[in-house]
Amino acid sequence: MFSLKRTFLVLSVAAMAAAAVQLTAQDQPQRPRRQRPEGAQFGGGQFGGDRQGQRGQRRQRGDRPQPDAAQPAASANGDVKPTGEYKPVDNPVFKHKYTADPAPVVIGDTLWLITSHDHTAENGRPNPNYTMKDWCLFSTKDMKTWTEWPAPIPVSDFKWDTTHTAYAAQMIERDGKYYLYTSTNGAGIGVAVADKPEGPYKDAIGKQLVKPEDCFATQHTWACIDPTVLIDDDGQAYLIWGNGHCYYAKLKKNMIELDGPVKSLDVDWKQYRFTEGPWIHKYNGKYYLTYASGFMPERIAYAMADSIDGHFEAKGILCDGNKNTSTNHPGIAQFNGQWYFFYHDGTLPGGGSYNRSVCIDKLEYNPDGTMKQIVMTKEGIFGGNSAASEGGTMTNPVDVKTTGNPLFKDVWTADPAALVDGDTLYLYAGHDDAHGREMFTIKAWRAYSTKDLVNWKSYGDVLTSTDFPYGQKNTCWAAQVVKKGNTYYWYVTIRNDKYGGQSINVATSDSPVGPWKTYEKPVVVDNLTNGFMVWNDIDPTCLIDDDGTAWLCWGNGNCYLAKLKDNMLELDGEIIDLKMTSYEEGPWLYKRNGLYYCIYASRPYRDEANHKEPQGNEVIAYATAEKITGPWTYRGQVTGSARNSFTIHPAVVDFKGRTFLFYHNAALSINGEGGALGRRAVCVDEMFFNEDGTIKPVRQTNEGITEPVK
């Protein structure tokens, strides 16, 4: 991480920004934010939620979802084959792609789920607007294991649509046929039909079922969206939809024609004005209309009636407290004797208002028939991390073949930490995402694995700072994973809202790639040490000694050491200042042939003999000791400064009989934007020792490791 100590502390914030500019290879202008039109009003036909101008960003645990290529709807013989199987461990349900606008339906012994599909921008960054190219389809028989199916129909198959934007949809069964009601961005509501719930679907009528001009009480073009459908006990089917105004109409028995005029739904909106996303369901003879209310963010409200024609009486807010998204969208279903509430949030890495993710929590009713308010939980219906023991997984690794340094060229990575477990090396790194003149925007920690240092698997972003209670977003500073017994412990640096300054927190897992259980109480907080900087307590490294004792080392400006208790979650005894010579930050503890090594970020000195007057960018230096508590002897530099980078951060591991040094530089450009202070990239080179145990200088190469390590 970034060190501002000794004489460097005199830099002002302006000077720091100037340093960031100097280190930036190519600045990009900030992306403009599209605003809600002036004078727009909510509800009442004037304005019901600006589908063109919402904005939101942030992220949470799980894989970084990737843009998907279009999937074929069916094989040559017309049978649709599943594309994947998932065992969710918590909310959001699906972590391999962004999903939104959930619409569940129970057919026989299976719950089917249609969702919208938010795509990332071509450069992998969050979108500044909706990019919704298709719909997603999932099914489950037990709510534990989910099957994914190909997109049921491409939006391009609706030839009447000119927007090419796949907004919310809902599927329902009648008389052995399956009807999919879809909406697009202002072109109307369509209907597709299939012989099986998984499809393939085809446009049933070749035109809109509902046109924008049918929305008589609204003028904006996206009023004709978000269809929900109910087949009543008497067999009558109803279609309900709208944005800014809630419409409904009867459907003929063929389900592809309206049966009568379009009407306004008779609802007492009170203060819970209708925005969009209606959902209709029935319980104990009562009709429930659930919908998105308000704007920036939307809340989920509901109303009840004795008849679909109304009058619906407002009952209040069902679900509040959106997580990192301005919109929400309800879906409700009873399955295997339990009622479930489906919604979306923006908590996946890279998530936000235009990159949303479906979640599920249980729904319960009060004795009077009203619904109990939904509490959005991280565990959802899956029990959180306990699902890992049942084979749950958060990740779907992607194969990566490296071609020299930097190792990974699709995202910026920093502060590497390596763990060897059996015949596999796991690599963890911060995910840099600073753009333009931004400094540090480290949004998540990523995980990789390899058996030969050439062929890798990428697990994407698997943990983030806001997974920890009180953790501030974008503060995923340096971290390290160690294994003790059968448990993996991840010591991380975050900015902590409750304890002040930076804190060192811990997460645990039964797997080296998660899912991870986070703990509220930090292991180290700022007031435990005497450093004079709020980021003094950063960059944890952990060494489990031969006798099983675990030692935690950390610090910026001062290098601290403390023993950990057997639970690995608390310090055991005093904190020692190791008084490491020429120390800046980023320590790494390593042991070889009974000798302890502390390898860390240092800086060259104008007065090298006395280690005074630091100058220039960080380099890697090291010290050795006979005992881990010291005294430590400074041994000199291992590397020079990293290419184009003020910081450098070491990790050293033995793997298959050889020793490797991981570090980062700022040599990687992505989409024309060069490396910089907050855009670094992980590299690896081999490290060698002299006979006396000292480390030979390591030359940072472009080639890295070219041949598989066996």
Residues 577-604 as b/e (b if ≥16 CB within 10 A, e otherwise) read ebebebbbbbbbbbeeeeebbbbbbbbb
CA 147 to mean position of chain CA atoms: 21
CA 570 to mean position of chain CA atoms: 28
Q: What is the mean pLDDT of residues 241-246?
A: 93
Q: What is the pLDDT of residues 210-243, one digit of tens each?
A: 999 999 988 887 889 999 999 999 999 999 999 9
* Cα–Cα nearest to 296, from 42, 565, 563: 42
Q: Rg (Cα) of the chain, in Å, rounded?
A: 28
E strands, 346-378, are: 357-362
Q: What dihedral angle (degrees, nearest 10) is formed by the CA atoms of 386, 390, 393, 397?
A: 150
E strands, 125-273, are: 132-140, 146-149, 166-174, 177-184, 189-194, 202-203, 228-231, 237-241, 247-251, 263-264, 267-268
- Tokens for 469, please give them: 């209670």
Q: What is the pLDDT of residues 610-641, one digit of tens each?
A: 667 777 899 999 999 999 999 999 999 999 99
Q: What is the mean pLDDT of residues 594-601?
A: 98
> In the predicted model, is pLDDT for residue 270 greater than 80?
no
Q: Is 6-23+407-687 assigned to CATH 3.40.50.300?
A: no
In contact, 90 and 378? CB cutoff 8 Å: yes
Residues 502 and 492: their CA atoms lie apart, in Å, by: 10
Q: What is the pLDDT of residues 97-136, one digit of tens each?
A: 899 999 999 999 999 999 999 887 655 555 667 888 899 9
In contact, 34 and 53? CB cutoff 8 Å: yes
Start-end of CATH 2.115.10.20 domains in the chain: 6-23+407-687, 84-390
- Tokens for 136, please give them: 């997603």
Question: Residues near 566 by Cβ (< 8 Å), separated by ≥ 6?
Answer: none
Q: What is the mean pLDDT of residues 409-437?
A: 95
In contact, 679 and 668? CB cutoff 8 Å: yes
- 391 by Cβ neighbours in 10 Å (0-12 / 13-18 / 19+) ranks as exposed
Q: What is the mean pLDDT of residues 577-604?
A: 96
In contact, 658 and 651? CB cutoff 8 Å: no
> What is the rounded average pLDDT for all residues in the chain?
85
What's the Cα-to-Cα distance from 371 to each of 125, 170, 303, 378, 537, rounded to whole Å? 38, 22, 10, 21, 46
Between these two residues, 250 and 439, which has the higher pLDDT value?
250
Residues 593 and 596: their CA atoms lie apart, in Å, by: 9
- Tokens for 384, please give them: 């959180």
Q: What is the pLDDT of residues 675-701, one digit of tens each?
A: 999 999 999 999 999 999 999 999 999
Q: SS3 breakdown of the chain: % helix, strand, coil, rounded to 5?
A: 5, 40, 55
CATH of 84-390, one of 3.30.420.40, 3.30.230.10, 3.40.50.720, 2.115.10.20: 2.115.10.20
- Tokens for 653, please give them: 């591991």
What was the pLDDT predicted at 695?
98
